[in-house]
Amino acid sequence: MNKAAWIFPGQASQYVGMASDLHSDFQQAREHFNRAEDVLGFDLKEICFNGPNQVLVQTRYTQPAIFVHSCILDSILKEKGLKKDFVAGHSLGEYSALVSSGALNFESALEAVKYRSQFMQEACDENKGTMAAVMGMELEEVQQVLEKVEGATSANYNSPGQVAISGEVEAVQKASEALLSAGAKRVIPLRVGGAYHSALMEPAREKMERVLENLNFSRFSVPVIANVSAEAVTDEDTMRQMLSRQITSPVLWYPSLRKMVELGVNTFIEVGPGKVLQGLVKRSFPPVGDEPLSEEKLRALGVDRSEDLEALEQSLGK
């Protein structure tokens, strides 16, 4: 079956100048930035367009910037009549996916993102932590090693042989050495502001629970593949639980991609800044012979800038 999934990026996909061309070319973009300023209380487009980078990379700006950029593109794709069967978002991107699915409206989701970024930054400031990327080991192998290292946990399962770990600084260093000894090809320290998707984010999760309790959901037009379970979700009670648990639990991105393929998806469209998720699809389903991707014959496409929209329509035969 030929089905499409729209996938939405998370933190680290930002760049100075993001969405500036969309703002120039599309009324929807200008309206989204105006609505965002009302919710956030500051001029987000100024930071997106002009930075500087040391400001844009701060969590309180990064998360709203990526969310708004993705939602602008989502609204343009919908206006062009493009359809999808599933949505998923990487960490922060799950909120963009929920807007795309119709489960949340833009303002409510952005307000939740505002609090999420604030609470996560506070948790980072209170509990210093870090992350590292483990190459050449699968999730189960990494978890076996981490069972013997207190204070470190798996954080993201992004693609085969690529797992991120998170936790206290000394624990991540100790875990990195243990993983290399256990057969990891490489362990690369990540330049991040904190130990995301670990127990050190528990203060943020507790505060976010209260925000999520008051979040008003509507009917899901398509299922959301949840980060925490890699399963399709179409009800608000389950989604609230997923959004809460997501803050301290691993992002099961590769299992989520596999689930969508099992459900008949053969076209993935990354909606938002950068090409990180397209790269993960390609690494998860590598080429075989002359096929663009593996035996599933998948396509990994994306839209970020204005020029990408026409290219996408051509790729889809629109």
Rounded Cα–Cα distance for residues 95 and 106 (Å): 9
69 is catalytic: no
- Choosing from 13, 70, 75, 91, which is the catalytic residue? 91
Please state, as a whole number, how many other Cβ atoms lie within 10 Å of the Cβ of residue 88: 29
Question: Cα torsion at 115, 118, 121, 125 (round to 10°)?
Answer: -120
Q: Tell me which residue of 199, 133, 198 sits closest to 164, measured CA to CA.
A: 133
User: What's the number of CA atoms in the CB half-sphere (13 Å) around residue 73?
Assistant: 31
Asked if 155 contacts 165 with a C-beta cutoff of 8 angstroms, the reply is yes
Angle between helices 106-126 and 202-213 (to 10 degrees): 160
- Choosing from 70, 154, 197, 229, which is the catalytic residue? 197
Rounded Cα–Cα distance for residues 290 and 282 (Å): 14
Using alpha carbons, list the distances in angstroms from residue 299 to 22, 162, 249, 317: 24, 21, 29, 13
91 is catalytic: yes
Asked if 254 contacts 160 with a C-beta cutoff of 8 angstroms, the reply is yes
Whether omega for the bond prior to residue 292 falls within 30 degrees of 0, making it cis, is: no
Residues with Cβ within 8 Å of 63's Cβ and at least 6 positions away in sequence, in order, are 11, 92, 113, 116, 117, 120
Q: Which residues are catalytic?
A: 91, 197
